[in-house]
Structure 1
Amino acid sequence: MKSALIVYGGWAGHEPDECAAIYRRWLHEDGFSVRMATETSAFADPSIHDLSLIVPIFSAGKIEKAEVENLVKAVEGGVGLAGHHGGMTGTFRDAVEYHFMVGGQWVAHPGNIIDYTVDIADPMDPIMAGIKAFAYTSEQYYMHVDPSNQVLATTTFSGEHAPWIEGVKMPVVWKRHHGKGRVFHSTLGHKAKEFENVEMATILRRGMNWAARDE
């Protein structure tokens, strides 16, 4: 049986408890055994090297050196890593090894909650199969991203809230490898209610399963 660890907490505004419950349900339905933890100390546990998947949901958090070192080694060894929004890329600001692994870091969301469009960059990828461009209402994340990411979806900034970025096309969904591990990220999901969006939920759930190590 595949096994997963969800580590959740940090800034309450991203509703980590509610999001962790959704992930837990999905993972159980998809045949995973699931462990839950509310402290980043779980990343330092040697047993994480035996997992199929780790899901971080810890916005604006801090991570200790031993914790991030063990987490990175686990992913390099083949454990999958998947997550969304600030819970994965808006956290652990001082841990450069962590952001090298995940492939990006959140830096701004001009206009805060706005309407925008998510465009499909790679419709042939199985994660995006059957999904067409869709309207979305949330924070439109401006990211600093790794050019080696395989970008699956993008959004284009209008410039209404920051004129100097008008026309900038920004990754919204990507996947990558870090060592032997598969890493998946979606910037969507500021609030747990956004998981009700069919396209968002489908992409995230497929990406999570893609990232999980084969058993």
Structure 2
Amino acid sequence: MRRAIVVRGGWSGHAPVAATDRFVPLLRARGFTVEVHSTLDVYTDGDRLADTDLIVQCWSIGQISAEQLAGLDLAVRAGTGFAGWHGGIVGSFLDIGYQHLTGGLFVHHPHGFVTHTLTVRPQQAAHPVVAGVDRVTLHTEKYWVLTDPLNDVLAEVTFDADEDTPWRRPVTVPAVWVRRWGSGRVFVSTVGHRVADLDVPEIRTITERGLLWAAR
């Protein structure tokens, strides 16, 4: 039986308990034992992490110690999967080492909640995380993120330009990506400010598949 660890906490506005509870039954149904932790201290337990196949993190606007980050990074490099969504993974910690691990950093969500389209990149249409999904219409925060070229971007969103925006042409940014970090797999989706966002059928499918893809 495989092991998954859910690490949740930080800013309560992203509903870390309710959001992660959406996916615990899936993991158990797929044969994982699931531990839930409300502290980052589990990242310092090297033996436990070495025996863990997937870490699901939902921790927003927090601080991670050097020891905690080192333990997490070592585990992922050794093969433990790491996955999450929205601010729970790319708005977690202002630490360069952590951003190297995740491949991205949230910087802004212009205009708050907006209706927009998440589009799967045509060249990634057959990827198991997004197969069968083309476009998803959403009304929620649209994340402007800074990312690195090691990511395999699966889906993206576009910020249109107008006379009121400081940018003068449309800006397309990654919204769903996967990457390898050492021997580990990392899955990131920027969608999930509200639990309702995670219940959009296509987003639910992408997120569930992403967690399973990342697992060792």
TM range (shorter): over 0.9
Cα 1:45–1:125, aligned 2, differ >3 Å: closer, same or farther?
same
Query: In the comparison of the two structures, how many residue pairs are matched?
Result: 212
Q: How does 1:169-188 map to 2 (within 5 A)?
A: 169-188=172-191
Supply the distance in 2 between the matched residues of 1:167 and 1:35 (Cα, whole angstroms). 43
**Which amino acid in the other structure matches residue 174 of structure 2?**
P
CA distance in 2, matches of 1:3, 1:166: 46
The aligned amino acid for 2:65 is E
Are 2:87 and 1:86 equivalent residues in the alignment? yes
Could you tell which deviates more after superposition, 122-131 or 203-212?
Answer: 122-131
Question: Structure 2: which amino acid aligns with 1:39?
Answer: T
Paired residue type of 2:113: I
Unmatched 5+ stretches in structure 1: none
Counterpart pick for 1:194 among 182, 192, 197: 197
User: Which amino acid letter does the alignment assign opposite residue 60 of structure 1?
Assistant: I
Q: Which residue of 2 aligns with 1:168?
A: 171
Matched, 1:45 2:54: no
Q: What corresponds to 1:126 in structure 2?
A: 128
Offset from partner CA, 1:84-114 (integer Å, 9 cap, x none): 0000000111x21111011000000000111
Spell out structure 1 runs of 4+ moving beyond 2 A: 159-163
How far 1:147 moved relative to its partner?
1.1
Q: Per-residue CA shift, 1:153-174, capped at 9, x if unaligned?
A: 0111112563416411110000
Unaligned runs of 5+ in 2: none
Q: How does 1:72-151 map to 2 (within 5 A)?
A: 72-93=73-94, 95-121=95-121, 122-151=124-153
Counterpart of 1:27 in structure 2 is: 27
Q: Which amino acid aligns with 2:172?
A: K
Indicate if the aligned counterparts of 1:110 and 1:162 stay in contact, CA closer than 8 A: no
Q: Deviations over 1:129-169 (max 9, x none)?
A: 11111211111000010111000001111125634164111
Q: In 2, Cα distance between the equivalents of 1:168 and 1:59?
A: 25
1:165–1:61 distance in 2 versus 1, CA, 3 Å:
farther
Q: Give the SS at the match of 1:48.
A: helix
Give the residue type in structure 1 aligned to 2:87.
G
Q: Determine the C-alpha separation between the residues in 1 that align with 2:174 and 2:30.
A: 27
Question: How far 1:23 sits from its partner (Å)?
Answer: 2.1
Tell me the TM-score normalised to structure 1 length.
0.95
The 1:185–1:165 alpha-carbon spacing in structure 2 relative to 1, beyond 3 Å, is farther
Alpha-carbon spacing, 1:189–1:165, altered in 2? closer, same or farther (3 Å): farther
Name the amino acid aligned to 1:11: W
Which residue in 2 is equivalent to 1:8? Answer: 8
Instruction: Indicate the residue corresponding to 1:70 in structure 2.
Output: 71
Percentage identity across aligned positions? Answer: 37
Scaled by the length of structure 2, the TM-score of the pair is: 0.95
